[in-house]
Every structure is written in C-alpha cells, then in structure tokens.
C-alpha cells in the first residue's frame, strides 16, 4: 500500500468510501501505514503540534501559550535550554516514529550534543538532546553533534505500532478497527447503508502536506475525513461537547495558613460579568502551565478521562483500547501509545506528568 522511498517522506495510499450525494466520507480503508500515522498523533507533545501547524493549531489556548514562551526573554527561564525544551519538546516515541512512511514531526530524536573539549569527552561525556545545555564539567555549551545509531526493527512486515498483513477501516469520526470483506459489509449495514453501489471509491496518495492537513482537520472538525476530502480550508466545525470543568477552591486573601501543596493564583475579576480579566501567579503556576507544552496528546486524553472535548481524538484513543488491542505489535508499544511518557530528562516533579 505504501510507496515509500525513504523513511518519513513517502506516500500512503488510502481508499475513501464517499457518499457523493451527501458529500460525506463514510469510512476509509487502509493498510498499517495510515493507522500508524494516526496513532503517532497521540505521541506528539502539544508544543510540537502547535509548532507543526504554524501556531494555528486551534488546540484550545495552546497557540497563545506557545507564542508566550517564544516571546519571553531567555532571562525569565532557568536556562536557555529550558526555553528550547518547551518550544521543541521531544517525544518518547520519536525514535520509533522515524520509521513512519509519512513523518510530519521534523525533530531529530537520535541527535545529541556533547562537549567540544577532548578532556570532557574522555572523562565524563556529558551529553544532551536539547540545544544550549552547558557542559557539567567545563560549563561550555554542548555543541558537538553526535547521533545515536539506529536499531533495525525486528519484524519488517509489521508497521511501527500495528501489525501488517491486515486491512483497517477508519470511520469518519476516527474509530479504527481491523476488518475483512465480510466485516466491511457488516460495517456498512451498521451505518444504515444497505446499497453500497451508492458509494464511490476515491483513492488518494497522502504525503506529508495531506497528513499535516489531516492533523489540523482532526483538531478542528468532528468529521475529519470528510473535511480532508471536501473542506480542505481550515474552518472549525467541531462541537465542544464535553468541556472539563474545574472546581477551584477560593480562599480569602487573609488566609494565614494556606495548604502548601496548593498553587496560589490571584484572580482579577470584572464585577460586571464575573469574567477573569487577568491573574497574578508565582513561578509554580508558570512552570505548570508552560510544562503542558511537553505533554503528549495521548497523555492529555488519558488524564481527562477520554473526554478531551476533541471527539475524534477520544475515538482514536478508545479504538486502541477496544478495537486494536490484538493488532498492536507488542505490549510495550501498546503502553507507549495508551500511556505516552515524556522522554528522558523531561521528567518533572508534578504528579500530572507521565514518568
């Protein structure tokens, strides 16, 4: 199904079954390559999604948060490297995703930097995957580029996340399931389509631009496959169905014995309509807020109880658990996408964060 020439820059063939009268994709049929790409979206840190979509991701307020980090002077961060970590967060699945037929994340997961000083290389060999980290021995920036070597995947017939030799169906709402000719007919009947001759096949070759567009459509539309085919302009057609509400404890300003485990935020509220005008916060709150940029999308979905308000992403996440459990390459890979973690050295003491 895939016409890959080199890893990450190929094209993926996907067949869309389209209801021409209603201008709607009923579902798509693909091999492992397209399902791998969809699953890889869950491993992307929120900051990476914002960056890849040119700070027009429509991912809540994350575009603005990212721009705030970008415009803050380096002196406001503990080190210059901290700012780099927020603007170009790494994914723990980055090395694995190098084998995707279409890879839109352009970070280089195997690249590291070491000290230029031969004495440091010989003795301690401090290294970092983040630019502008100072050497732990001499204090100079680690600037000499090295690269971890790439391990070959054992089963080449399998995909990155899911098994090969199978066909998969993807509904317009992004539910993914393994399928066969019989189950295709069953699926159509399930959708109330008795006469499949009313549908038209459209086969597309999806490259990096189309996949990036699909990611954008997933974040802005409840029917991303239809949007990809019929509405490639980026109008939001998503309903915010299940906004998560926050129960905040409001204490009087005179509280002399505050709980040390709580983060204190001082809100300035407009009397007229009780809306928050702005907040005064300490470094703990800023640390927490900025760190959200490093969280993988799948972790956020898990954290919000699969009610993220992006229905397609919730459907994709549920598919991993309920439809694709037997199709994953290994238990380790299943865990990597169901509970995506932060890569080494990105860990933080906040309990919200994946270890």
Site residues, Zn ion (CB under 5 A): 115, 117, 120, 135, 137-138
The smaller minimum CB distance to Zn ion, of residues 37 and 133, is found at: 133
Q: To the nearest whole angstrom, how small is the minimum distance from the Cβ of residue 120 to Zn ion?
A: 3
DSSP letter assigned to residue 1? -
Judged on CB neighbours under 10 Å (0-12, 13-18, 19+), 178 is middle
Q: What counts of helices (H) and strands (E) characterise the chain?
A: 13, 10
- CB of 145 or CB of 232, closer to Zn ion: 145
Helix (H), strand (E) at residue 3: none
Question: Which CB, 138 or 196, lies closer to Zn ion?
Answer: 138
The span from the CA of 140 to the CA of 72, in Å, is: 24
Separation in Å, CA 105 to CA 9, 89, 253, 347 = 11, 11, 46, 21
Chain length of the chain: 355
Q: How far is the CB of 345 from Zn ion (least distance, A)?
A: 18
Please provide the distance, in angstroms rounded to a whole number, between the alpha carbons at the two ends of the chain.
36
Contact 37, 228 (CB under 8 A): no
Question: CB 6 → Zn ion: shortest distance, Å?
Answer: 35
Query: In terms of CB distance, is 135 or 214 closer to Zn ion?
Result: 135
Closer Cβ to Zn ion, 115 or 313, answer by number: 115
Q: What is the smallest separation between the CB atom of 131 and Zn ion, expressed in angstroms? A: 15
Could you tell me the smallest distance in angstroms from the CB atom of residue 269 to Zn ion? 51
Is 144 or 177 the residue whose CB approaches Zn ion more closely? 144
Nearest to 32 by CA among 92, 101, 85: 101
Shortest separation between residue 115's beta carbon and Zn ion, angstroms: 3
Closest CA to 293 of 38, 58, 63: 63
């Amino acid at each position: 199904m895939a016409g890959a020439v080199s890893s990450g820059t190929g094209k993926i063939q996907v067949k869309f079954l389209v209801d021409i009268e209603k201008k709607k994709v009923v579902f798509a049929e693909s091999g492992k390559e397209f399902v791998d790409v969809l699953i890889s979206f869950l491993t992307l840190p929120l900051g990476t999604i914002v960056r890849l979509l040119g700070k027009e991701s429509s991912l809540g307020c994350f575009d603005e948060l990212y721009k705030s980090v970008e415009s803050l002077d380096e002196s406001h961060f503990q080190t210059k490297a901290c700012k780099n970590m927020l603007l170009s967060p790494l994914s723990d699945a980055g090395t694995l995703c190098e084998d995707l037929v279409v890879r839109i994340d352009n970070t280089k997961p195997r690249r590291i930097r070491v000290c230029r000083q031969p004495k440091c290389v010989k003795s301690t060999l401090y290294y970092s995957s983040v630019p502008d980290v100072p050497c732990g021995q001499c204090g100079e920036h680690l600037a000499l580029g090295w690269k971890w070597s790439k391990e070959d995947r054992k089963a080449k017939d399998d995909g990155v996340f899911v098994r090969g030799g199978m066909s998969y169906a993807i509904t317009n709402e992004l539910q993914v399931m393994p399928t066969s000719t019989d189950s295709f007919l069953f699926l159509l009947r399930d959708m109330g389509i008795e006469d499949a001759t009313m549908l038209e096949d459209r086969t597309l070759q999806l490259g990096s631009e189309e996949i990036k567009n699909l990611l954008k459509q997933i974040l802005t539309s409840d029917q991303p496959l239809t949007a990809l085919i019929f509405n490639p302009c980026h109008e939001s057609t998503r309903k915010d169905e299940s906004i998560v509400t926050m129960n905040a404890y409001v204490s009087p300003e005179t509280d002399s014995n505050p709980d040390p485990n709580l983060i204190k935020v001082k809100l300035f509220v407009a009397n007229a309509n009780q809306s928050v005008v702005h907040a005064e916060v300490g470094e703990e709150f800023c640390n927490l807020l900025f760190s959200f940029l490093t969280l993988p999308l799948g972790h956020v979905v898990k954290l919000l109880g699969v009610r993220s308000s992006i229905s397609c992403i919730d459907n994709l996440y549920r598919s991993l658990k309920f439809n694709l459990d037997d199709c994953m390459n290994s238990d380790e890979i299943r865990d990597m996408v169901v509970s995506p973690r932060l890569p080494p050295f990105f860990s933080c003491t906040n309990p919200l964060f994946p270890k």
